[in-house]
Chains A and B, each alone.
Chain A
Amino acid sequence: MRPPHPEHWSFDDEFDGGEETCGRVIINLHTYVKPLPPGTRLLLVSEDPAAPVEFPAWCRMTRNALLETAHPYYLIELKPALKENPHG
């Protein structure tokens, strides 16, 4: 059984990568987040032992913000730079 994710985390959507690793979890995650709007807060769950280094790298490359980590949980804000600016 997994421990629960940190209680104070708030998120809009969730992706569970399970125990999948490397390119397999990355391409699945990529396909999942593609239609989600910028600013979406995503709870990513991954039991890949490489996750603590893989997802920070993925976030840097894709310009998604990694807000907090508590393996196997990762709190990500998608594309914060592309969020609509209400003041133009």
Chain B
Amino acid sequence: MADTFCVTITHCRTDGDKATLGFVVANAALGSEKDTMVFLSTDGVYCAVKGEAEKIDEGAPFAPLKELIGKFVKAGGKIFVCTPCLKKRGLSEADLIEGATPAGGAVLVEWLAAGSPCVAY
């Protein structure tokens, strides 16, 4: 069984439900002792942009997105944010929340090529 796990999320403003689910599953993976990375791309980059996660709350039984992301980062989860996707939206590293790192495809490919399973939202 692999000790790593990856969740890719491609929505935030476009689909808060999918962004929320992505982080719920990331928390389940991290809480199951999998070294877990979340890769945010396309509209998903907004999950890691200051002030954006606060806008997503799907309601019970889901926790607000901000809380899910906070728990993930606090427990040692890694968040990587697609750099060209940020640039396309006029955003930069300075716009990101603490715990989020700008990254490119190589980080994602290396993680998966080493044998990590991945689920996409």
Contact = CB atoms under 8 A, between A and B. Distances in A.
Interface stretch (A2-10, A24-32, A69-77): A24-32
A21 B24 CA distance: 10
Interface stretch (B27-35, B40-48, B95-103, B105-113): B27-35
B118 interface: no
A23 B121 CA distance: 15
Contacts of B24: 22-24
B31 A27 contact: yes
Interface string A19-50: 11111101111110000000000000000000
B31 A30 contact: yes
Interface residues of B, number: 21
A27 B32 CA distance: 8
A61 interface: yes
Given A23-B23, A23-B26, A24-B62, 18 more contacts: A20-B61, A22-B25, A23-B24, A24-B61, A24-B63, A26-B27, A26-B28, A26-B31, A27-B28, A27-B30, A27-B31, A27-B72, A30-B33, A30-B75, A31-B75, A61-B32, A62-B32, A62-B33
Interface of B: 1, 23-34, 61-63, 68, 71-72, 74-75
Interface of A: 19-24, 26-31, 57-58, 61-62
27 contacts: A20-B61, A21-B61, A22-B24, A22-B25, A22-B28, A23-B25, A23-B26, A23-B27, A23-B29, A23-B31, A24-B24, A24-B27, A26-B28, A26-B32, A27-B27, A27-B30, A27-B31, A27-B71, A27-B72, A29-B31, A30-B30, A30-B31, A30-B33, A31-B31, A31-B71, A58-B32, A61-B32
